[in-house]
Amino acid sequence: MARQWMSTVVMALILALGIGVMVQAADIPQELVDAACAEGTIVFYSGMGLDITMNYVEAFRDAYPCLRTEVVRQTSHQIHQRFLTEQRAGQHLTDVIMHVNAGIFFGELVRGGYIMEYDHGSDQHYPESLKVSNYAYPLFMYLSGPMYNVFLVTPEEKALLETWEGITDPVWRGRAAVSVPSAGGSSYSPNYMFLRTHREQFGPEYIAKLAAQEPQLYTSTIPAHQNVVSGEVHVFFWGNSPNVGNFIAQGAPVAMTFPSPTPAIPAVAGIAATAPHPNAAKLFMRWAFSEPGQRAALEAFSSAVAYEPLKDEPPPAFAQMEGGWKAPEELLVVDWDDFDQYLETVIQEWNEIFGYSE
């Protein structure tokens, strides 16, 4: 309570004097801050996890306590449908929408005119493949790669996990886990790479080698991550960085590698074209995609960011990881329309090779 009171007093002084450390650091016009504070509220629709959403929203609220923040959280599909239904019904309730599908979901929103075009001033710092310029940008990335229990994997075995070829080594037979590609996101993206974008390098023969190791199959990444922590399995080939980072922060004996190319699913954000609090939404975009907002993202989401000046900087949780943080050398470049178009094709081929029925 004392902290909130002090933050409010500090913001009042900042507004009264027309200056501010956070405003200057993020290069945000004072008139935008004033207009946003006059609106007093910002509403977020999030398809990301509740905890990580709230962590980030709290960081924004700490920077601008003049704004009351409201969060509606559902799965990406649910929040997408809810937003579309409300827009088509003329119910304009959302200021900022955030979720983890940069392809068909956000593409549909941009093409339909449901996302506001807005230059937040940092476009040049984000790679083309992870943004829709002037509409949607990555708050952070879900990086896919092997997660392992540091007590159950030897240094020699850990070295195998540095490359995608290494996860097919027979040493992992009976010790590994994979989640099926229909689990989506970080489960689908590496298999999309193996069977679509890098098919000549990997292809069906590669997937067959994985299947021959008889890994435990999961329909969700959550229990797979948890079972590496418990030691039920030694390695989960499709670990995702936010979950692994959270476990490391909690003191779990786990670590993660990022073979090249590293699949990266961006968690994107954009402003609703009919935002009821447009200035507050613009303030969020200016802050979120500047250096202060991206530093907050490193901590809140326990994962890497795409913001060029910080792309090699470790999330605080990963700084504690055994062996230290080694940033991905190369991210998988994805055409997001193609990514969505081949979803069923990749799932069907993978299921046939593994002999798996949905």
Q: What does the angle CA 111 – CA 112 – CA 117 come to, to the nearest 5 degrees? A: 70
> 3-class DSSP state for residue 215?
coil
CA distance 208 to 169: 12
Listed range (16-30, 54-68, 340-354) with the worst mean pLDDT: 16-30
Domain 143-263+315-354 annotated CATH 1.10.8.10: no
Tell me, what's the pLDDT at 7?
37
Within 10 A of 298 (CB to CB), how many other CB atoms are there? 22
Rounded Cα gap, residues 5 and 2, in angstroms: 5
Position 245 scores a pLDDT of 92
Q: What is the pLDDT of residues 168-223, one digit of tens each?
A: 999 999 999 999 999 888 899 999 999 999 999 999 999 999 999 999 999 989 89
Mean local confidence (pLDDT), 287-305: 94
Assign domain 2-140+265-310 to its CATH superfamily: Periplasmic binding protein-like II (3.40.190.10)
* pLDDT tens-digit map of 308-331: 999 889 999 898 898 888 889 999
Q: Sorting pLDDT into bands at 50, 70 and 90, what band is 340?
A: confident
Whether the bond between 127 and the residue before it is cis, its omega within 30 degrees of 0, is no
The answer to whether residues 181 and 347 touch, using CB atoms and an 8 Å cutoff, is yes
CATH fold match for the domains 2-140+265-310 and 143-263+315-354:
yes
Q: Is the pLDDT of residue 11 over 50?
A: no
The more confidently predicted of residues 20 and 340 is 340
CA 59 to chain centre: 17
Residue owning tokens 């994805």: 334
Average pLDDT, whole number, for the chain?
Answer: 89
Q: Tally Cβ neighbours within 10 Å of residue 219.
A: 14
- pLDDT, position 102: 62
What pTM, to 2 d.p., does this model score? 0.83
User: Is residue 4 scored above 60 in pLDDT?
Assistant: no
First to last CA, the chain: 50
Give residue for tokens 């993020």: 26
Domain boundaries, the chain: 2-140+265-310, 143-263+315-354
Residue 125 contacts residue 286 (beta carbons within 8 Å): no
